[in-house]
Structure 1
Amino acid sequence: MNSKPWIIIITHGTFGEELKRSAELIIGELEDVYCFSLLAGMESKALIEHIGSQLTDAPRDSIFLTDLYGGTPSNIGAYFAKKDGYSVICGVNLPMLIEAQTRRSLGEWEGIEDKIIEFGAEGIRNITKIIKERKGSAC
Structure 2
Amino acid sequence: MTVGVLIITHGNIGSSLLDTANDMLGSCPLQLKILRVTRASHPDALQRQAKEMINCLNMGQGVLVLTDMYGSTPSNIACYVANEQQVQVVTGLNLPMLIRVLNYPRLSLTKLTEKAVSGGREGVCACPTTMRTQDDTK
Which bin holds the TM-score, normalised by the shorter protein? Answer: 0.7 to 0.9
1:24 and 2:22 correspond: yes
SS of residue matched to 2:129: helix
* Cα distance between partner residues in 1 of 2:116 and 2:49: 26
Q: Which amino acid aligns with 2:111?
A: G
Superposed structure 1 runs of 4+ greater than 6 Å apart? none
* Cα distance between partner residues in 2 of 1:122 and 1:94: 11
Unaligned runs of 5+ in 2: 132-138
Give the 3 Å change call, closer, same or farther, for CA 54–116 of structure 1 in structure 2: closer
TM-score, structure 1 as length reference: 0.82
* Cα distance between partner residues in 2 of 1:19 and 1:54: 19
Pairwise CA distance, 1:111:
1.9
- Spell out the pairing of 1:27-106 with structure 2 (5 A cutoff): 27-30=25-28, 31-59=30-58, 60-104=61-105
Larger relative contact order (C-alpha < 8 A, sep ≥ 6)?
2
SS of residue matched to 1:83: coil
Pairwise CA distance, 1:55:
2.6
TM-score, structure 2 as length reference: 0.83
* Cα distance between partner residues in 2 of 1:40 and 1:8: 20
Q: Which amino acid aligns with 1:16?
A: G
Q: Which amino acid aligns with 2:96?
A: P
State the aligned residue count: 127
Pairwise CA distance, 1:122:
1.1
Tell me if structure 1 keeps the 8 A contact 2:100–2:116: yes
Give the 3 Å change call, closer, same or farther, for CA 55–112 of structure 1 in structure 2: closer
- Spell out the pairing of 1:102-117 with structure 2 (5 A cutoff): 102-104=103-105, 107-109=106-108, 110-117=110-117
* Cα distance between partner residues in 2 of 1:125 and 1:53: 36
More helix by share: 1
* Cα distance between partner residues in 1 of 2:34 and 2:48: 14
Partner of 1:124: 124
Give the 3 Å change call, closer, same or farther, for CA 41–57 of structure 1 in structure 2: closer
* Cα distance between partner residues in 1 of 2:63 and 2:84: 14
Render the CA deviation track for 1:34-73: whole Å, top value 9, x for unaligned: 1110012111111111222233232252100001001111
RMSD after superposition: 1.8
* Cα distance between partner residues in 1 of 2:26 and 2:47: 29
What percentage of residue pairs aligned between the two structures are identical? 28
Tell me if structure 1 keeps the 8 A contact 2:33–2:53: no
Q: Which amino acid aligns with 2:19?
A: R
